[in-house]
Amino acid sequence: MEDKKTALALFLCFIIVVFYSEMFLAPEARKQAEIKIAQQKNESELKSNIEDNAVVSAAQQQKHLSVPTEVGDSSSRDSLNTQAPKANTPTAENYLNADSLIIDTGVAKFNLSLLGARVKSLKLRDHKLTLNSKELYDLVSVTGDEPLPLGVYSGNANDNFTVYTISKTNGDIQKIGNSFNLIANNTGEIELTGKLSDGTELKKIFTFTGESYYFAVEVIVSNPGANKNDIWLEWNEHLTDEAIHDRLDPKNFSILESDNSIEKILVNDKKLNSETFTDFSGNWSALGGKYFMTAIVPAISGKNILVGKLNNNFIARVRGTNSGGKFFVYSGPKITDKLKDAGLQLERSIDLGWFSVLAHPLLWLVKFFYGIFGNYGLAIIVLTLFIKIAFLPLTKVQFESMRAMQALQPEIKALRERIKDPNQLNQEMMALYKKRGVNPMGGCIPMMIQLPVFLGLYNALLNYVALRHAPFALWINDLSAPERLEIFGVGVPVMIIIMGISMIIQQWTSSVSVDPAQKKAMMMVPVVFTVMFIIFPFPSGLVLYWLVNNIISIIQQTILKAERKISPLNATLVASVVIFSVGYILTLI
């Protein structure tokens, strides 16, 4: 089998893998969210005399985020009810008229309604809703006819219409009126008291820590002996039809099951219906997209997690006992270091694909270079150059194999003209390869070795929340979004077009085939690739990586082809300095 045909087949397989990953396994985009009214931060100095009690530090609180212990069966415990909830819920007007508390942890701002002790909004201070918006990203997404998140359910009873009152506050929490502030590492508690719809008295104790996305919700039933049903805590989100079927940013439930496996259920999965819940035995359940999520941790093990939906309202519930339980919640961006803090493997909710073992160190390098240059675009450029330098020996092997194949082209052409039987032709060609000491797969093997690195970096950049709204240079102001330069009111994908041109040049410099039909087919690959980049818009960070990779590849191939005295390594290093310098200058314009 001829090397170029094999290379073409493998390259087309590579395209299929990449675009299947893009459209179905690891799509990219930002979560669509409904714009909500901003809550202005109270910047006045908060003063209050708060009861000085012993508190749990942030580190201690995170230490308590452990996998729940098994609770044995009990006749007082209700059977698992997998029927989807159908309860009356407060209206938007009910919530509007109810009192609420504002809790500011420094990284998140909570609006906690005293009607149901539910979260009306949870806004992230370091993340905007859209690139040019002043509105903060809100993790609470419900409509007027749906309950707010963090509701308590027990059998047929719930706290939908429970009006809670503040019974006390503890810890290092500053208070003025109904506003509460926490500084870094300080922990404070807000204890609320109310009754379920069946008259069961309970307390809801919220524990917040300054500069942390973690918080705790402890539910205490005052008379557990009279309550035969277990307590469940719920997190729910409303998703539009567009968001449910969005292939570019698929929303999903992630569940860490008791056997330590991760179960992912897309919100458009047919196993989710409006009649029943799906039950799991697990350590936590998370609901979110590429960049943000909310995870809730049950208070016990066993059949302790339910996921389901009611129309467009997607629901996750975690279980306590009939006396209540302490539930932990992470609600924020998917930042690996933050997710690791709890020791619950929440970082596994980030899907970096088949080559995650490579994606993690590559992502670490992106962060490292960003720490040096302060620009993620420059960090991507430097990482790309670093990878190309590291793979230069493989590039040389690939090029030498292709050149050896080129030297055999006249003899291969003669064999084709002389032998018409395909089987005999293949036998003669393999004999020729063996005689000349040429490996027909020699040019493909180095490419296949580099493929996992590309896919690892691809998924790393695709899921890295820090690239969201991160600028590079000129018109490229969001590396997580497709780039478009407005020309006479039309968005032109300039960098993709330049990338396409670079692919054509690269194909021309690396071509060794003398078969016109093969040359034509190979030259069509860059055109098809460019069109697909435009039809299925890639984030500009990935396009930047591909463009720089093409440019340095062209330089390496040109030097190897010319056989000049300058070594390929020195040429690559010089070219890398020039490419980085151009990129740096662009950031200054």
pLDDT at 6 (0 to 100):
43
Tens digits of per-residue pLDDT, 440-468? 666 666 667 778 888 888 888 888 999 99
Instruction: Calculate mean pLDDT across residues 341-364.
Output: 88
Residue 251 CA to residue 264 CA, distance in Å, equals 10
Closest among 545, 357, 360, 345 to 460, alpha carbons compared: 360
CA angle 353, 234, 82 (to 5 degrees): 85
Residue 142 CA to residue 562 CA, distance in Å, equals 64
Binning pLDDT at 50, 70 and 90, where does residue 82 land? low
Indicate whether 376 pLDDT > 70: yes
Q: Which residue has 């296949």 as its token pair? A: 448
Query: Do residues 93 and 209 make contact, with C-beta atoms less than 8 angstroms apart?
Result: no
Q: Which residue has 């998370």 as its token pair? A: 286
pLDDT at 53 (0 to 100):
31
Indicate whether 81 pLDDT > 50: yes
Indicate whether 2 pLDDT > 60: no
Residue 336 CA to residue 465 CA, distance in Å, equals 10
pLDDT at 125 (0 to 100):
94
Copy the structure tokens of residue 561: 């082809």
Tens digits of per-residue pLDDT, 39-50? 333 333 323 332
User: How far, in Å, are 37, 245, 266 from residue 292 at the CA level?
Assistant: 20, 18, 15
Instruction: Calculate mean pLDDT across residues 151-171.
Output: 91
Closest among 299, 296, 297, 295 to 323, alpha carbons compared: 299
Mean residue pLDDT of the chain comes to 80
Q: How many CB atoms lie within 10 A of CB 397?
A: 16
In terms of DSSP bridges, do strands 165-171 and 292-297 run parallel, antiparallel, or are they unpaired? unpaired
Please report, for the chain, the start and end positions of each structural domain, with discontinuous segments joined by +. Answer: 3-26+357-588, 84-350
Instruction: Calculate mean pLDDT across residues 80-99.
Output: 69
Residue 35 CA to residue 447 CA, distance in Å, equals 46
Alpha helices, DSSP H only, in 374-491? 376-390, 392-418, 422-436, 445-462
pLDDT at 222 (0 to 100):
85
For the chain, give the longest Cα–Cα distance. 98
Residue 213 CA to residue 293 CA, distance in Å, equals 11
Binning pLDDT at 50, 70 and 90, where does residue 217 land? very high
Would the CA dihedral through 571, 573, 577, 583 be positive or negative?
A: positive
> SS3 for 244?
helix
Residue 304 CA to residue 232 CA, distance in Å, equals 9
Closest among 146, 198, 166, 142 to 50, alpha carbons compared: 166
Residue 384 CA to residue 454 CA, distance in Å, equals 10
Tens digits of per-residue pLDDT, 134-151? 899 999 998 877 889 999
Element housing 159 (H / E): none
User: How far, in Å, are 309, 376, 465, 471, 585 from residue 478 at the CA level?
Assistant: 33, 10, 11, 5, 18
Indicate whether 313 pLDDT > 70: yes
Closest among 269, 115, 248, 93 to 192, alpha carbons compared: 115
Percent of the chain, pLDDT > 70?
80
Query: Do residues 26 and 154 make contact, with C-beta atoms less than 8 angstroms apart?
Result: no
Tens digits of per-residue pLDDT, 222-250? 877 666 789 999 999 999 999 888 877 88
Instruction: Give residue 197's identity as a one-letter amino acid code.
Output: S
Closest among 521, 545, 565 to 464, alpha carbons compared: 545
Indicate whether 77 pLDDT > 60: no
Binning pLDDT at 50, 70 and 90, where does residue 115 land? very high
pLDDT at 512 (0 to 100):
55
Indicate whether 515 pLDDT > 60: no
pLDDT at 29 (0 to 100):
35
Closest among 118, 114, 115, 120 to 150, alpha carbons compared: 118
Indicate whether 356 pLDDT > 50: yes
29 backbone φψ class: left, alpha, beta (φ>0; ψ -120 to 50): left
**HEC per residue, 72-124:** CCCCCCCCCCCECCCCCCCCHHHHHHCCEEEEECCCEEEEEECECCEEEEEEE
Residue 289 CA to residue 308 CA, distance in Å, equals 16
Copy the structure tokens of residue 241: 């039809």
In terms of DSSP bridges, do strands 174-176 and 252-257 run parallel, antiparallel, or are they unpaired? unpaired
Lowest mean pLDDT among 57-61, 180-184, 243-247, 349-353: 57-61
Indicate whether 31 pLDDT > 60: no
Question: CATH number for the 84-350 domain, one of 1.10.10.10, 2.30.30.40, 2.70.98.90, 3.40.605.10?
Answer: 2.70.98.90
Query: Do residues 232 and 152 make contact, with C-beta atoms less than 8 angstroms apart?
Result: yes
Q: Which residue has 């992106």 as its token pair? A: 366
Max mean pLDDT among 61-70, 407-416, 572-581 falls in: 572-581
Between 481 and 27, the more confident residue is 481
Would the CA dihedral through 75, 80, 81, 87 be positive or negative?
A: positive
pLDDT at 144 (0 to 100):
72
